Structure 1
């Protein structure tokens, strides 16, 4: 198949913690003839997937290189600490990083929070992934601070989480290469922004052909402009001896 023979499709990358199901459903309703393929990608690798053409657009975690990518920030996540259910911190509704000062706080290699200064005490090794860190928390070795969506993604019955009020937060955005803003990308932007199908800010539609004008009753506009009667009959001449604009002179009596 040549490029022109390839049917159109749309590839959407997404990072762990993002649930694109709502937007995918709307896409399938509006563009049923164009399949949407989901491309899962680790948070650190998602920009590379977009840069290399592995996806047309993607839900990523900021920051991204704004000299290459366009990005629409969507929401900022609450940051939580994942702990065993019987941990002392579980007694509080929310905590600060100072409350974790005596805890071993894991900092996995795929961390998405961008700490300036890590809270608590560092672990001997950095876990390779968030999933690995969750296993260590379950073993009672330490705690983990992550965006709330990742805590839900790795939910376990023996673990819980609490909000950390002063921790960095992760922001999720829709992003795509700026030089590759295709019509399908514009369609997906409209869906994410909540535009309706007929929104004036959506893709430009081809102008509708003008409807033919219906002729007026009794004749056409051209006949009326030319002074012709609508019925097509010739006008009757004025009576002899009378002017067309008034009455003739009265006859004298004898």
Structure 2
């Protein structure tokens, strides 16, 4: 956690919590700032930075991450191994296929794997992220798979999305390094999970 220096005193540390696109942490921030006095909470958007890299570098103290983490480029080992972090699961995200509005797949209520045969799949990586993938398929080129939250975030009039019937979804989790655990982080994860000041810790 960061500690700010002033001319005459040291200010209490701030808890820096990163969050990835598709996650809206404002509700948790309001809970944190309501009621008892706590350290300052700083929310840091991680638009292009991998959450595990932000944690490892010390840029954030905790992060709302999407699990499983994306594979490291070039087959390299991840910056942080799963065993090195606490990961509190929060909610699941349903996967969707994003297609152009005039794509026949847009007529389906739900898409099965067999429906995708003959359609080109654009990965988020090759398109520079979810926004680029939505723009690519909106031009009439194939489809892209992503969590529904990202499809909504990058919605366009010339693209739409449909749930995928046979694919496992991703899960949003609150993650922080085990070797940096403390009472502040434990209290924040409790607030995120809905624990109140009167709740017992478990």
Greater C-alpha radius of gyration: 1
Aligned partners of 1:24, 1:135: CA distance in 2, in Å?
Answer: 32
Corresponding residue of 1:11? 16
Aligned partners of 1:33, 1:61: CA distance in 2, in Å?
Answer: 27
Aligned partners of 1:159, 1:188: CA distance in 2, in Å?
Answer: 38
Aligned partners of 1:40, 1:200: CA distance in 2, in Å?
Answer: 31
Structure with more contact order per residue of length (Cα contacts < 8 Å, sep ≥ 6): 2
Corresponding residue of 1:75? 91
**Equivalent residue in structure 1 for 2:58, among 48, 53, 57:** 53
Q: Does 1:20 align with 2:36?
A: no
Q: Does 1:156 align with 2:164?
A: no
The answer for unaligned runs of 5 or more in structure 2 is 70-80
Q: Which runs of 4+ in 1 moved over 6 A?
A: none
Aligned partners of 1:83, 1:157: CA distance in 2, in Å?
Answer: 11
Corresponding residue of 2:106? 90
Deviation of the 1:93 alpha carbon: 0.6
Corresponding residue of 1:237? none
Aligned partners of 1:142, 1:172: CA distance in 2, in Å?
Answer: 27
Q: Does 1:141 align with 2:131?
A: no
**Is residue 111–residue 165 contact of structure 2 (8 Å, CA) maintained in 1?**
yes
Deviation of the 1:183 alpha carbon: 1.8
Deviation of the 1:67 alpha carbon: 2.1
In structure 2, the CA distance between the partners of 1:43 and 1:172, relative to structure 1 (3 Å rule), is: farther
Q: Does 1:100 align with 2:100?
A: no
**Is residue 77–residue 170 contact of structure 1 (8 Å, CA) maintained in 2?**
yes
Corresponding residue of 2:181? 181
Deviation of the 1:43 alpha carbon: 7.4
Aligned partners of 1:44, 1:34: CA distance in 2, in Å?
Answer: 25
Q: Which structure dedicates a bigger proportion of its chain to helix?
A: 2
**Equivalent residue in structure 1 for 2:42, among 37, 45, 53:** 37
Deviation of the 1:63 alpha carbon: 2.9
Deviation of the 1:31 alpha carbon: 5.0
Corresponding residue of 1:196? 196
The answer for unaligned runs of 5 or more in structure 1 is 110-125, 203-254
Aligned partners of 2:51, 2:27: CA distance in 1, in Å?
Answer: 20
